[in-house]
Amino acid sequence: AGAAAGAFGRAVAVPGQPHQVSLGAARVDFHGPHQAGIVQPPQARIELLALDLAPGATRQAVQELFKRWTRTAGDMALGEPADSHENQIALDAGPSSLTVTVGLGATFFDKLGLAAHRPPQLAPLPDFPQDAIDRSRSDGDLLLQVCADDALVAYHALRVLQQLAAGTAGTRWQMSGFSRSPGATAQPRTGRNLMGQVDGTNNPKPTDPDFAAKVFATGPDWLAGGSYLVFRRIRMLLDNWEQLPTDRQERIVGRRKSDGAPLSGGTETTPVDLGKQDPDGSLAVPADAHVRIAAPASNGGAAMLRRGFSYSDGVRPDGAPDAGLLFLAFQADPAHGFVPVQRSLSRGDGLTTFLRHEASGLYAVLPGVPDGGYLGQALLES
Ligand SMILES: C=CC1=C(C)c2cc3[nH]c(cc4nc(cc5[nH]c(cc1n2)c(C)c5CCC(=O)O)C(CCC(=O)O)=C4C)c(C)c3C=C
Ligand SMILES: [Fe+2]
């Protein structure tokens, strides 16, 4: 067996497979205290699949499905073929840092007679001003987040897992996204979104002492080591945004576009100084700048791990690009993460004018799977 990737890493080439370049051979262990696909930096590609349980699906059928998903996702993360529904889409590639992450929506619990185990944190997200949510592309009993550094590897895994669910759960909606490919920049750098901004700089870091407290749930017992995932499909009004001069775009975000440095000075990683004033006495980071409104300091310490991907789905009937951000944020509790921050943003963020939230979801992300265990075991055997 070759080396698994570390918490952040991309692994080295697998011995015995010299034809594979390191990008394809890199792998992320499926097993561990937390599911893969949370702490790793975004891979080049994401497939999101929400499923609803089939009418009459039983807890036993879901247990069998989760066992199949566990076995097959574990195999595919090692670059091995699926043991059923193998379609050979990714036959020539290595695992390419494939991760599969499974979440449960609030409706999962009601349908399986598990309402007593539904955590209060899964209560529906509030409506925010300016939301334009399409419920048919939102929510779902189950969510699969499939990420890889190769589009074929990601689609292969998605398709296999989707087919393994047949009879127990069917597709509700599916979306694809992308991020920068590893190796595209000379040094690893924070990625950019479709507005051209460096995005992801001020995220909690796994090395921070309070990282786990911000990102991972501690209870109920069956969820300990899991997380809560907020998903928002956020369309960008790019035709409007691109008409703005760069300095105006920068004041709306509060950071320089060229290198992501805060307008209060320094480099990309310099902490933002929200109190800094320009010589004329005005705030260096404007009062409605996105980074000011979203900062933990402005929201009672609320924090989350953002792991977003861009999407581009062609042209809308009005001729505008159907493109934006698949916003994904992991947190220990949405009431101390996404909800207060989005409430603040919806009231005072300069960026809001250029965004439309079009789909939404909230999921309990299952804890990681120990060797020999299976996804959701503690919940389904309770
Ligand atoms: C409710 C949470 C957030 C939503 C929704 C959101 C949407 C969104 N953000 C950008 C672009 C950037 N966001 C940046 C920072 C940032 N954003 C949030 C939260 C939400 N963003 C937080 C908590 C932060 C960090 C604030 C801080 O403490 O400094 C940045 C700056 C770079 C960075 O730190 O990542 C950019 C750029 C877009 C385009 C967008 C919706 C499409
Ligand atoms: Fe943001």
Mean pLDDT per 10-residue interval, the chain, length 382 residues: 35 53 90 98 98 97 98 97 93 95 98 98 96 98 98 98 98 98 93 98 97 97 98 98 98 98 98 97 98 98 98 98 99 98 96 98 98 97 92
Tell me the three state secondary structure of residue 325: strand
Q: How many CA atoms lie within 13 A of 7 on its CB side?
A: 7
10 Å CB burial of residue 74 (0-12, 13-18, 19+) is middle
ipTM over 0.95: yes
> CB within 8 A of 187, min separation 6: which ones?
none
Q: Give 157's contacts (C-beta < 8 A, 6+ positions apart).
A: 47, 73, 76, 90, 98, 100, 146, 148
- Residues 6 or more apart whose CB falls under 8 angstroms from that of 303 comprise 204, 214, 296, 331, 336, 337
Residue located via tokens 């992450």:
101
- 58's CB contacts (< 8 A; 6+ apart) are 112
Per-position DSSP letters for 356-370, written without gaps between them: EEEEEEEEEEPBP--
pLDDT at 307: 98
What gap in Å lies between CA 326 and CA 234, rounded to an integer? 6
Q: What is the pLDDT of residue 244?
A: 98
For residue 22, what pLDDT is reported?
Answer: 78
3-state secondary structure of 4: coil
Amino acid type, 290: H
Ligand 1 geometric centre to CA of 334 (Å): 16
Identify the three-state secondary structure at position 117.
Answer: helix
Find the residues whose C-beta lies inside 6 A of ligand 1. Answer: 193, 195, 197-202, 232, 234, 236, 253, 255, 272, 290-291, 294-296, 324-325, 327, 338, 341-342, 345, 355
Rounded distance from Cα 213 to ligand 1 centre (Å): 20
Instruction: With CA atoms as reference, report the closest residue to 105 among 178, 50, 48, 49.
Output: 50
pTM for this prediction: 0.95
Among the bound ligands, the one closest to the CA of 292:
1
Nearest to 216 by CA among 72, 35, 350, 373: 35
Beta pairing partners, 288? none
**pLDDT given at position 348:** 87
User: What is the b/e burial string over 270-280, where b = at least 16 CB atoms within 10 angstroms of the residue's CB?
Assistant: eebebeeeeee
Interval between CA 200 and ligand 2 midpoint (Å): 8
| Helix, strand, coil fractions of the chain, as percent rounded to 5 | 25, 20, 50
